[in-house]
Structure 1
Amino acid sequence: MGEEEKQKYSPRNEDDKFQGYGNDVVVSEKQVLDWNYRIFIQVFPHDSRKLNLWPNGFREILEEYVDNIKLVTEVLYKAIAKSLNIDEDSFVKQLGDRSPMNARFNFYPPCSRPDLVLGVKAHTDGSALTILLQDKEMEGLQIFVDDKWVKVPVLPYALVVNLGDQMEGNDSIYIYIYEDESTDH
């Protein structure tokens, strides 16, 4: 997608500032920015979608992907609940059938000094679950375990599931900090 095409999907007003094509919203001069461009869109519930920020060429594919990920998410919530010996529908009931779901697609431009920047800075997710489909060309996802960063291997067509902050609690579920490295390719 060329620059002119990308700009068609950039946020146009304050309500859209976190959705569409772009990069970090700057809130402070001291803010550390991610070394990436992204498309970030709300995909569920349907009435919260801003289709004008969805590139036309992948709407149909994204619809199918979202439907399938919703099913995977429900299975995961039930499995987590069972592992905690609570009612298997606990999380589904708590989060409701209108729980927001977002999609984010990151592009990491070449960087002459990848040792100085991160594609996505270290963070945890504020959500309950994050499901990642890694690009087999971009190995950069890391988690912080035992006081060191560990690379997450890319397994073609595999999903990486991160538990978000909403799932941490009672010393039963632990959340890891993760980041994406920059690349020099």
Structure 2
Amino acid sequence: MLWESTFFLRQLPESNLYEIPDLEDDYRKVMKQFAVELKKLAEKLLDILCENLGLEQGYLKKVLYGSKWPNFGTKVNNYPPCPKPDLIKGLRAHTDAGGIILLV
């Protein structure tokens, strides 16, 4: 039986990848690389936003990174198949307080 599981994988400024129990080494390796690529994508999106808003290049990155580095993480959810999908009416509203939110 699959159980619902949710955990928050903090990527920056320091990763908690090795503090989360019950993750296979291959999964940790993939998530580490995923974080690298996700950071690149977020930075590219910030550059595009600056260009489209007429801001100097790097402005949003500077604002969102603060004085040292960005904060970012990945919320990982696993939901087992619903035994009664005909009773599902939807999910709660999604909210975030970050600068760029990428939902997959």
The verdict on how the C-alpha distance between 1:69 and 1:87 changes in structure 2, with shifts beyond 3 A counting, is: same
Question: What residue identity is the alignment partner of 1:94?
Answer: V
Amino acid at match of 2:52: S
1:63 alignment partner, SS class? helix
Taking structure 2 as the reference length, the TM-score comes to 0.76
**Structure ranking higher on relative contact order (CA contacts 8 Å, 6+ apart):** 2
Deviating more after overlay: 84-93 vs 99-108:
99-108
Matched residue SS, 2:7: strand
In proportion to residue count, which structure has more helix? 2
Distance change in 2, residues 1:102/1:132 (3 Å):
same
* 2:47 counterpart of 1:75: no
1:52 and 2:19 aligned: yes
* Structure 2 gap segments, 5+ residues each: none
Q: How many residues align?
A: 99
- Superposition CA RMSD, Å: 2.5
**Which one has the bigger strand percentage?**
1
Displacement of 1:117: 5.0
Query: Whole-Å Cα distance in 2 between the matches of residues 69 and 50 of structure 1?
Result: 15
Per the alignment, residue 92 of structure 1 pairs with: 61
For residues 54-111 of structure 1, give each alpha carbon's deviation from its aligned partner in whole angstroms, at most 9, with x where no partner exists.
Answer: 6233111111111111111111001011111111211111112522111122222222
Percent of pairs with identical residues? 20
Q: Tell whether the 8 Å contact from 2:13 to 2:69 is kept in structure 1 after alignment.
A: yes
Q: Counterpart of 1:37?
A: 5
Distance 1:131 1:75 in 2: 13
Structure 1 gap ranges (5+): 4-35, 134-185
Q: Give yes or no for the alignment of 1:121 onto 2:89.
A: no
Task: Give the aligned residue type for 1:56.
Answer: E
CA distance, structure 2, for counterparts of residue 63 and residue 114 of structure 1: 37
Partner Cα separation in structure 2 for residue 114 and residue 92 of structure 1? 44
- Does the C-alpha gap of structure 1 residues 114 and 127 become closer, same or farther in structure 2, counting only changes over 3 Å? farther
